[in-house]
Structure 1
Amino acid sequence: MKANNFTFDVFPANKTELGFNFIFIPAFRPNLRWLLFLSITLLSLTSYAGNDVQKFGKISDGEIKMTTFPADTSASAVILYEKGTAYYQINQGFQVYYEIYSKIKILKPEGVKYANVEVPYVDYGSGSHERVQDIDGYVYNFVNGKVEKTRLDKKYIFTDNEEGKHFRLKFSLPNVKAGSLIEYKYTIVSDLEGRIRPWRFQNSIPVLESIYDVTVPNYFIFNINEKGYYPFTTKKEPVNQTFIFNGDMASIPCTHLFMKAENLPALKKESYVPNMNDYYSGVSFEISGVQVPGQLYKSFALTWNEVEKALLDDPEFGDNLKQSGFFKDEVKAIASSQLTDRDKIDALYHLVQAKVKWNKKEALYTSKLKKAIKDGVGNSAEINFILLDMLKDAGYNAFPVVMSKRSEGHLPIANPSIDGFNYFVVGVITSQDTLYMDASRKNAPINVLDEDYLVDRALAIRGPEGNQSTWVDLSHVAPSTNYDICKIEFENGKMIVNVTSTKNNQAAYVFRENYETYKNQEERIDALQSKFGISISNYSIQGLDSVNKPVVEKYTFAKPFALSDSVVFLNPLTIFNDNSNPFKAEKRDLPVEFSYPFTDLTSVVISVPKGYALEALPKSEKSSIKQNDATYRYMLQKDDHFLRMMVVLSLNETIYPVTDYGYLRDFWANLTAQDNQEIVLKKITL
């Protein structure tokens, strides 16, 4: 990936998709108007189109009759052309205009989804908001030798309030099917003049041509960062725009960037990649400063300490750390009890969960702590701020740990910015260790976080005075273990298997979350029976409602297993495990990212059936990746009546770069081959 810095800066993206090309970023709101707009009015703006001939409403015969894409026959759709044009205008201050145009050919039924467009935007109030306007679109279908044209109707346009000041405009083009050609356009008008939106050239479907055309007054100094594996061309040139200063016309120098990519392959979703936006070819902008003639240079480049201070100065974040007195009597009783520190913290953790239920919304900022307490429901920020303040009231050193969620992409460490953050959990320092928690997740105990928050770099904000930020790794907070113990016997032409499955920490949390998708226990049993092709009896489960305990499932099942042959082949590991290899590809373009470290242990005790003896057994095996990044052990022990098998897979490292993929592939191929070996039983004469 590239990160080229031009004399031009940009905000790092938070990776939320905007239409098909933008990556949206939450607002960083430098107050620039007082520097720039006291007496400036725009007279005219020249648009530069480079080698650009596409026009909205004009289609070609080849586009409408196109039925396949030979370069990628698996493509469900192809972006024929897309363009974003960003430029500045003045209307009571600088505004940034974004004109977006996209033309897409739908090739297969599954490509119809690309006719559903979403445009995130923010509204911080007067003078600091964005709006989406001039939405238009057409669908073209070739029917009985004629082109049928359907226009986007206003009834298919609506807006969702995602959370707080964040909104999402959505529209769906009508009458779209395989063979349709669609085009649409819209304009975003943004008061956030210190930000230029990022652009994504590559997509999950092929892109024939993608253009980002940006013109910026040289008052604004931006850094520009390129990313991705596929290049695009950039033409940079000085241009002039005519402005009026106090009634006098003046030509103001600007910088024009014309960026273009052609014939980009689809970047298809790969397993074990939490966010594909990290790898798309694109460009992002981060403001560095403002230089107005006759005034001192105003820098907006930040260090991470300054980011911490900015967060603490934001009333919707920092003010929430100064609250106290929530559930005062209960907190006082817990703090003065004879419980250990760990048990006190656990009691406070469950107290806030009992008092305020999660509304399924994630947030970093809020101004509604008291309302959440009154209503008994709140978003993640409200619940975690309340917990944090309760912990401090109880005498503990508690602090927020802010991050970029895994689903939103890696935090741009080289470009400090508030915009990289979109979530936080709570940290607490005790005399024994540091604990991490997210009280919005009722199925997670302390030190267990949802996998979206298990990031390898988060910022622990340890003091209200700032300058105490510390990077922490949340990806290895608690070990995840899954133990399967099986006892196998043979009787009456059946193999009887007794299973005890125990899940701890992350594995238990994931199980509890999944279990809630079932209406009742019977649905869970049906799911197991369907998955493994078995008939279950004597099912029981423990620990579902006690998050500090493991989840334990016990059940018995029987499978037909005739012992009439002189030689019998058996592999107990295939009875209820999927022993396929997820890493069969010779090469891989993207890193492998597991959600968290884990240990899976399978212990099997086989009662050798009467009249048979163990004829052949697999050999014990042990393998690893590098310095025990991952380890695998396959062990057997036998006597005349029993065969004891133990298989242990431990994954200690969660991220494997492309350069290490070969090690991971070979390691998994070896363990898969070992797990699929069979035990041979031979009939004997008694």
Structure 2
Amino acid sequence: MTVREFMESERLRETGAEAVVLYSLGDYAFLHDDWFMEGKEPFPVFSAGLETRIKILSPEGVRYGMFEFPYEEFSWPDGIFDIEGFTHNMDDSGRIVSVPLKLSDMSDADAGAGERVRRIVFPDVRDGSVVELRCVQRSRHTRMPEWRFQRGIPVLVSELVYTTCPYLGYSPVLKGARRYDYTEKRVVKGRQRAAYEYEPDYLVLRYGMKNLPAFPQEEYAGNAVDAVVRLVFRPEFSLSPRTGARTSYTRTWRQVNTELSKERDFGRYVQAAAKEYRKVREAVSGEAGGSVARQLYWNGVQVACASGRVADLVRSREGSSADLNLFLAGLLRAAGTDAVPVLLRVRGSGSVEREAPSKDAFNDVVIRVTDEEGVHFLDASERFAGFGELPARCADMEGLVAEPDTEEWVMLSQEQVAFDGREVGIVVDTAGIADVSVVRTFDGAAAMNLRSGCGGSVDALARMVAGEEGASAARTEACDEPGKPLVVRYVCTEEVEREEDGTLRLAPFGAVFPGDNPFGQTTVRHFPVDIVFRPVDVYRVRIAIPQGYRVKSLPSGMKVEDGISRFTYEAVAGENEVVIEAEFSLSESRYPASAYALLRKRYDGMLDALSRPVVFEPEELLP
């Protein structure tokens, strides 16, 4: 890197970004001189070259000095090759100091399901650095990965060169934008080869985009990834190098379902699981096999088709999301239950392209159970979900019912809310110390998420809910009983604000205050708000009036209900105690982007009301 290039990159600080991609150049091709066998057919190895430079513009941007590349383990020729990289910095004398990548800067980690991840961490990366990487990733897979022009940071130039393959036909489709900034097409003449008679002509295509803004990073954005500017490749056909026979990849969803029903990692896996029914008959009797799901463990791998054999799952009691769900589907069918796998793309990974039918369109699977009470959806990978409950990644997503020769799309609707009830009792002594007893009751999605977050550990749950102070004496109920309300009881102390004249100012919700506004984004909102599980928060606080005191003032009551949210607040003083009741809930689980500012305002209003104090005054000061 030259001094001039480095100094020009420094001008990018005015963008205010953590980092900027100076350029990202990709090179997709199938290597005609390097082949592997797929069954009885030879196919060229896929090669994805990458050359990129990234300018680091802040301490937070240092994280862009790390790259990760997934690849298949024990699968020639999968891997990352020809790795070369440098970290460029400018020293005090204005000279560019380039530190090369070393083998010690690279590591490999197990990603599960036969996959590994090559991690590259650049050395000496700091504010002002430029990292430069060149590498090639090779794969035996004939499906091509998408090319992302847009990233989470600004991109000055992003370009992909795609060399078509005469034996594998793809249709490039631009997503997230109407057109490229520049394109180029070049024809390369075929040549005579020894392995077969003649190689057809092929194309070299160049697609480029310039000055792409950072893709907005927003909370509760759902499938905002659909809007990322990217190039996807839809498979169309394969051509046998030996015989010239053409195989079309154009499918209907009916055909996809029929083919899946015959495949070892899907339909035949369900059939194999059904043969295990007799061994686990007692476990599946009752509520749709939920107890079976809790005897198996998810290994964290999320896929739509099984990763191994049924025998492997039975032996290890651990498997991917598809292993667990297809296994349970087979058991339920053998037990006489109407259970069908449902394929989906999980939240945050983009929508299914309906116009391009393929089993590769999906990355997870759940189960649809139909009984006399209606339709329920189950996910055996979430062992802390109650019957009919789905985790956030699957809830309210669209799925394809996987039955042969059918096409039925369903919404994985979830009626459950995230209920959080807070009952608080407060006794204040004359020294201004409040003894607080709390009963937290979680139900629905709130209980499922808490159980999952703490792994069913009572101690972890107590610390998560009661904090370090209250955890030691906390008591929990139904910690490891999915589908039931989860209850945590604990006590703590709080110091009450005491004025010089003896007046006490008590924050009634201090021990259970909900915290910061989750709708804190102040910039322009781009994407719809996808909350997943509608929150319902209920508060009931009972405050014993301190001896020798009377109530001086109470927070005013209020009620707000506008189709966005509902909030009620009422404080009543009795002879011996003050009772405060409040409830906050959202009306929907999804809102348009235009509603975001009002969501923030309503939540701020709730936080303001809950922060208002109850004031007690010594009786001798009253007339």
Q: Scaled by the length of structure 2, what TM-score is found?
A: 0.85
CA shift at 1:188, angstroms?
2.9
Confirm or deny: 8 A CA contact 2:13 2:57 kept in the other structure: no
Structure 2 distance, partners of 1:600, 1:229, is 41
Q: Any conservation in 1 of the 2:51–2:132 contact (CA below 8 Å)?
A: yes
User: How far did 1:500 drift?
Assistant: 0.7
Which of 494, 504, 511 aligns to 2:433? It is 494
User: Residues 221, 514 of structure 1: CA spacing in aligned structure 2 closer, same or farther, 3 A cutoff?
Assistant: closer
1:269 aligns with 2:269: no
3-state SS, counterpart of residue 367 of structure 1: coil
Question: Cα offset for 1:114?
Answer: 2.4
Q: Any idea what the Cα deviations from partners look like across 1:589-627, whole Å, max 9, x if unmatched?
A: 23322132231111222334453135353132122335x
Partner in structure 1 of residue 567 of structure 2? 632
Deviations 1:398-444 (A, max 9, x none): 12122212243333344433222111222221111223223333322
**Distance across 2 between alignment mates of 1:637 and 1:190:** 69
Deviation at 1:83, TM superposition (A): 0.4
2:363 corresponds to: 422
Deviation at 1:102, TM superposition (A): 0.7
Conservation of the 8 A alpha-carbon contact between 1:84 and 1:212: yes
Give TM-score scaled by structure 1 length.
Answer: 0.78
Q: 1:72 to 1:528 in 2, by over 3 A?
A: farther
Q: Is the 8 A contact 1:625 1:663 kept in 2?
A: no
Residues in 2 aligned to 1:313 and 1:207: alpha-carbon distance in whole angstroms: 45
Q: CA shift at 1:155, angstroms?
A: 4.5
1:367 has 2:308 as partner: yes
Q: Does 1:583 align with 2:531?
A: no
Deviations, residues 293-324 of structure 1 (Å, cap 9, x unaligned)? 99998643333333322332321112111122
Which amino acid in the other structure matches residue 103 of structure 1? Answer: R
Please give the alpha-carbon distance, in whole angstroms, between the structure 2 residues aligned to 1:638 and 1:230: 63
Q: Check whether the contact 1:308–1:467 (CA below 8 A) recurs between aligned residues.
A: yes
Distance 1:636 1:457, change over 3 A: farther
Offset of 1:276 from its aligned partner? 6.2
Q: Aligned pair 1:388/2:329, yes or no?
A: yes
Alignment of 1:117 with 2:70, yes or no, is no
Q: Specify whether residues 109 and 276 from structure 1 end up closer, same or farther in structure 2 by C-alpha distance, changes over 3 A only.
A: farther
2:232 is equivalent to residue 284 of structure 1: yes
CA displacement at 1:396 relative to structure 2: 0.8
Relative to structure 1, the CA distance from residue 277 to residue 420 in structure 2 (aligned partners, 3 Å threshold; closer, same or farther) is same
Report the AA paired with residue 487 of structure 1. Answer: G
**Contact (CA 8 Å) 1:227, 1:283: kept in 2 or not?**
yes
- State whether residues 536 and 558 of structure 1, in contact with CA within 8 Å, keep that contact through their aligned partners in structure 2: no
Q: 1:469 aligns with which of 391, 401, 408?
A: 408
Secondary structure in 1 aligned to 2:13?
Answer: coil
Greater RCO, 1 or 2 (C-alpha within 8 Å, sep 6+): 1
1:290: Cα distance to partner? 6.3
Corresponding residue number in structure 2 for 1:595: 532
CA distance 1:641–1:179, change in 2 (3 Å): same
Quick one: structure 1 residues 261 and 571, their matched pair in 2 at CA, closer, same or farther if it must change by over 3 Å?
Answer: same
Cα distance between partner residues in 1 of 2:205 and 2:559: 59
Deviation at 1:272, TM superposition (A): 2.3
**Structure 2 residue matching 1:262: 3-state secondary structure:** strand
In the alignment of these two chains, the number of paired residues is 604
Q: Which amino acid in structure 2 is aligned with residue 668 of structure 1?
A: Y
CA shift, 1:654, in A, is 2.3
Correspondences of 1:4-43 after superposition (within 5 Å) = none
Q: Is the 8 A contact 1:624 1:667 kept in 2?
A: no
In the alignment, what sits opposite 2:350? Answer: 409
Determine the C-alpha separation between the residues in 2 that align with 1:665 and 1:599. Answer: 16
Deviation at 1:537, TM superposition (A): 7.9
> 5+ residue gaps in structure 1?
1-57, 336-342
Matched, 1:72 2:15: yes
Classify the secondary structure of the residue corresponding to 2:372: coil
Number of the residue aligned with 2:480 = 545
Secondary structure at the counterpart of residue 410 of structure 1 = coil
Q: Which moved more, 1:216-225 or 1:591-600?
A: 216-225
Does 236-245 or 572-581 show the bigger shift?
236-245
Alignment of structure 1 residues 209-608 onto 2, 5 Å: 209-216=157-164, 222-228=170-176, 232-237=180-185, 239-244=187-192, 252=201, 254=203, 256-273=204-221, 277-289=225-237, 299-323=248-272, 324-326=274-276, 328-331=278-281, 333=282, 344-345=286-287, 348-354=289-295, 356-364=296-304, 365-461=306-402, 463=403, 465-467=404-406, 469-474=408-413, 476-492=414-430, 493-516=432-455, 521=459, 524-525=462-463, 528-529=466-467, 538-561=473-496, 562=498, 565=501, 568-584=504-520, 585=522, 587-608=524-545
Q: Distance in 2 between matches of 1:353 and 1:292?
A: 47
Asked if residue 208 in structure 1 is aligned to residue 145 in structure 2, the reply is: no
8 Å CA contact 1:444, 1:509 repeated in 2: yes
Corresponding residue to 1:142 among 90, 93, 97: 90
**Native 8 Å contact 1:131 1:188 kept in 2:** yes
Aligned residue for 1:243, secondary structure, equals coil
- Partner of 1:635, secondary structure, is strand
1:120–1:140: structure 2 CA closer, same or farther, 3 Å change rule?
same
Question: % of aligned pairs identical?
Answer: 21
Tell me by how many angstroms 1:183 deviates.
Answer: 1.3
Q: Residue 555 and residue 223 in structure 1: after superposition, are their counterparts in 2 closer, same or farther (change >3 A)?
A: same
Question: Are the structure 2 counterparts of residues 564 and 208 from structure 1 closer, same or farther at C-alpha, using a change threshold of 3 Å?
Answer: same
> What is the CA–CA distance in structure 2 between the aligned matches of 1:430 and 1:150, rounded to whole Å?
64
8 Å CA contact 2:345–2:352 kept in 1: the answer is yes
Give the match's secondary structure for 2:23: strand
Other structure's SS at 1:210 match = strand
Tell me the residue number matched to 1:50.
Answer: none
Give 1:370 deviation, angstroms: 0.6
Corresponding residue SS for 2:264: coil
Q: Partner of 2:208: helix, strand, or coil?
A: strand
The Cα offsets for residues 342-384 of structure 1, whole Å up to 9 and x where unpaired, read as x7135x3213533x44434333323321122123433333232
Deviations 1:236-275 (A, max 9, x none): 5463433337888787263x54322222333353222356
> What runs of 5+ residues in structure 2 fail to find an aligned partner?
36-42
Compute the RMSD of aligned alpha carbons: 3.6
Partner AA of 1:117 in structure 2: F
